Amino acid sequence: MRLKLILLVLFLINLNDSAIAIKCFQCDSNIDLECSEYFDPDMTSLQSKSCDNVFEARFCIKTTGMFGGVIGTIRNCSSRDLGDRCSYLKRPGDQRYVRSCVYTCSSDDCNHAQKINHSLPLSMITLIIFITSIFYL
């Protein structure tokens, strides 16, 4: 019983932390060259920022492709899970296709990598353990 109470308290604490805005890298490679597709957060001056500027932001995104006629990478915040997908687009009059991708993740600073690791927030892990303990302890 004591373990269940501890897990419930941990879940509630983590749930409260999740109400605070997520932090994401927010940059555009057409403005800042350090925001390129291959990005090492340890080798750059770019810092992640709180997503207070996006209503109900819970995700970080990284998009690659053609923006305003220029190929580049944009990292930002999102209130929606845009999933992970790539497609090949061809503009009218162009001879070649451009690969455009969007990657979505849900933990702080997660949109730096070329491919994004999807990790469960600590509150979800705690909830899973708590529910499991109800049935098996």
pLDDT in tens, 91-103: 778 888 888 999 9
How far is 125 from 85, CA to CA, in rounded Å?
A: 26
The total of structural domains in the chain comes to 1
Task: Specify the higher pLDDT residue, 90 or 129.
Answer: 90
- Give the β-pairing of 49-50 and 85-89: unpaired
Q: How does residue 67 score in pLDDT terms, banded at 50, 70 and 90? A: confident
Task: Specify the higher pLDDT residue, 53 or 7.
Answer: 53
CATH of the domain at 31: 2.10.60.10
Partners of 99 in the β-ladder: 88
Range of the domain at 112: 21-119
